[in-house]
Amino acid sequence: MALLSSLTPLFVAALCVVLVFLFKSSQKKENEAVKPEWKPTAESRPWVDEDLQDDTEIRHKDEEDGDWVESGGEEELAHVPYPASRYPVEVMVQRSQDFYSLMNQRRSVRFLSPEPVPRQVIDNVIRTAGTAPSGAHTEPWTFVVVSDPEVKHQIRLVVEEEEEVNYRHRMGDKWVSDLQRLRTNWVKQYLDVAPYLVLIFKQTYGVVAGGQKKTHYYNEISVSISCGLLLAALQNAGLVTVTTTPLNCGPQLRLLLGRPANEKLLMLLPVGYPAPDATVPDLTRKPLDDIMVHL
Amino acid sequence: MALLSSLTPLFVAALCVVLVFLFKSSQKKENEAVKPEWKPTAESRPWVDEDLQDDTEIRHKDEEDGDWVESGGEEELAHVPYPASRYPVEVMVQRSQDFYSLMNQRRSVRFLSPEPVPRQVIDNVIRTAGTAPSGAHTEPWTFVVVSDPEVKHQIRLVVEEEEEVNYRHRMGDKWVSDLQRLRTNWVKQYLDVAPYLVLIFKQTYGVVAGGQKKTHYYNEISVSISCGLLLAALQNAGLVTVTTTPLNCGPQLRLLLGRPANEKLLMLLPVGYPAPDATVPDLTRKPLDDIMVHL
């Protein structure tokens, strides 16, 4: 009885420990069950289209419907007649055929000639890229065109340093071996050789008068569409490029080029004439039946 | 002493409860501190470029470097000479100017004519879109071209139903009022009127022989670039469209059109001639100096 009496506090203590532990553990499990729904960056907006699974998309829904309204700002815009120009049917068919033939000759070319390219052509292809539609007509793109040899070389150093680390330490053996077959490695000579480097930044938000931030809906899709127009304009002018997305270099290149924090590097395109001995992989494109479904 | 003796178990129990509670709380705090780093969808890949903050980007890094290598598959591809065609400088400058002028006439047009459009032209503009570069040459796009009036109407019903809910219940007053100024509402007559609707799906992954999934790196950027080429091809042929991203309709439209689960709706483009009385908002584009920086 004396033993029992002296054990009671210990027994009660142990029981309490077990009970509280169980209670707290069940709380923790509830938290864990909620975790997969937890999104650190997006507010609760139950109506967003989860199907797209893109944060750019999700942010967009806040203040716009699905159309990319081309609005200049807050005030109501006048609506003016659209000046249509129509081609006769046979001309239209021929034009569509010719444009396809021209674009189908485009290839990603990594071997560029150092020959100078008229600046006027560069201006025109960037102007063309700037005609792309964009979410709420925000035009969320900045094209940094680099021809200064020293800046080009600095860019090369940043890209190659990161790429070498990628190859040597970050990528698996299979990855590196896959890339060897494609004759790709971390040496990017074209970054010095090309007369122009075009670094395409997406503006993730805008800054209006007073310093307030303005959402740039669908900025990544908009800038990518604009890049499509840029590629078309380059091909139309007889210039070549390769669409690259340098790995891990965005922040360094942004600082190097003095771009503000709302701009993120999306793509880097070396631009010039092809080298006389340029080669490309002998690949084909999917036929129309593989990419188009008609209903 | 008898009182003290009888209180002891209670005291010890209370002390234990407090101690365990504090211990578990400190554990919970550690978990919370870790939470912001927690990513439900991406494996641990410390080398990925966090600057882009895009899941598509992150997934991409797994097996490719920053270049969009255009590889046909596992085998090594032969490399062949690139057949360059070069224009004299003055021709090049003129071509770049003419292409800019043509693209600069493009506008998002919501008032389409029901007149039929030659199917050959549609085939050619889709072929042109299919010449876009893509991450690892995966060509991750499906263009569903709808001319069947009943299917077009079903699409309209899905889009308008969702849009009306968006306007009436999901969007705030400011949003709706903003859109009224832009004369946009949930009625999308062009979905019935346009001779063609082009629904652009991004293939988020591919399925190879044996049923294994194959990552489609940068699928959203690739398909958006391809959309840029499509817009250029339409403009070149004298056709109009409006780039729309119907809100919340992706899954329903995917099922309606019988597309597989790896395809996600990215954009919907009504395509046709402009209506004779078509109007567009009287907006301007940023001048070159606002979108280009030269170093």
Segment B70-98, tens digit of pLDDT:
444 445 788 999 987 899 999 999 999 99
| B181: confidence class by pLDDT, cuts 50, 70, 90 | low
pLDDT digits (tens, 9 = 90+) for B204-236: 998 887 888 888 888 999 999 999 999 999 999
* Alpha-carbon gap: A249 to the closest alpha carbon of chain B (Å): 7
Interface of A with B in 119-148 (CB under 8 A): 120-121, 123-133, 137, 139, 141-148
Name the E strands within chain A: 79-81, 141-146, 196-203, 205-207, 213-215, 263-271, 279-281, 292-294
The structural domains of chain A, with segments of one domain joined by +, span 32-62, 111-277
Q: Average model confidence (pLDDT) for chain A? A: 79
B169-175 mean pLDDT: 65
For position A18, what pLDDT does the model report?
Answer: 56
CB contact under 8 A, B183 and A79: yes
CB contact under 8 A, B17 and A15: no
For position A70, what pLDDT does the model report?
Answer: 45
Q: What is the complex's ipTM, to 2 decimals?
A: 0.77
- Residue A19 and residue A22: Cα distance in Å, rounded? 5
For position B101, what pLDDT does the model report?
Answer: 97
Q: Average model confidence (pLDDT) for chain B? A: 79
Lowest mean pLDDT among A214-223, A225-234, B23-32, B215-224: B23-32
Q: Which CATH architecture has domain A111-277?
A: 3-Layer(aba) Sandwich (3.40)
CB contact under 8 A, B283 and A70: yes
Name the E strands within B154-285: 196-203, 205-207, 213-215, 263-271, 279-281
Exposure string of B134-146, with b = 16+ CB inside 10 Å and e = fewer, is: bbbbbbbbbbbbb
DSSP per residue, B65-133: -SB-----SSSPPPEEE-------HHHHHHHHHHHHHHHHT--B---B------HHHHHHHHHHHTTS-
Sequence-separated contacts (24+) of B179-182 with Cβ below 8 Å: B179/A64, B179/A65, B179/A69, B181/A71, B181/A74, B181/A75, B181/A76, B181/A77, B182/A69, B182/A71, B182/A76, B182/A77, B182/B281
User: Is A256 an 8 Å CB contact of chain B?
Assistant: no
* β-strands B141-146, A292-294 pairing: parallel
Please name the member of A89, A124, A285 whose beta carbon is closest to the beta carbon of B96.
A124
pLDDT digits (tens, 9 = 90+) for B128-170: 999 999 988 889 999 999 999 999 999 999 998 888 887 777 6
CB contact under 8 A, A96 and B56: no
pLDDT digits (tens, 9 = 90+) for B276-286: 999 999 999 99
DSSP bridge pairs for B274 = B112
A59 pLDDT above the threshold of 50: no
Quick check: A120 and B91 in contact, CB under 8 A?
no
| A115: confidence class by pLDDT, cuts 50, 70, 90 | very high
pLDDT digits (tens, 9 = 90+) for A166-207: 777 766 665 666 555 555 677 899 999 999 999 999 999 988
Quote the DSSP letter at residue A172. Answer: -
* β-strands A263-271, A196-203 pairing: antiparallel
A84-100 mean pLDDT: 95
Q: Which residues of A touch B51 (CB under 8 A)?
A: 248, 250-251, 254, 264-265
CB contact under 8 A, B182 and A145: no
User: Is A36 an 8 Å CB contact of chain B?
Assistant: yes
- Residue A209 and residue A212: Cα distance in Å, rounded? 7
For position A61, what pLDDT does the model report?
Answer: 39
CB contact under 8 A, A224 and B229: no
**Secondary structure of residue A62 in the 3-state scheme:** coil
**Nearest Cα to Cα of residue A272 among A101, A106, A109, A130:** A109
User: Is B177 an 8 Å CB contact of chain A?
Assistant: no
**Nearest Cα to Cα of residue A125 among B238, B73, B92, B62:** B92
pLDDT digits (tens, 9 = 90+) for A4-41: 455 565 555 555 555 555 554 444 443 333 333 333 33
Q: Which residues of B touch A17 (CB under 8 A)?
A: 16-17, 20
For position B16, what pLDDT does the model report?
Answer: 52
Lowest mean pLDDT among A103-112, A184-193, B54-63, B93-102: B54-63
User: Is A206 an 8 Å CB contact of chain B?
Assistant: no
**Cα within 13 Å of Cα(B155), Cβ side:** 32
Both tokens of A12, joined, read 């009660």
Please name the member of B68, B71, B280 whose beta carbon is closest to the beta carbon of A243.
B68
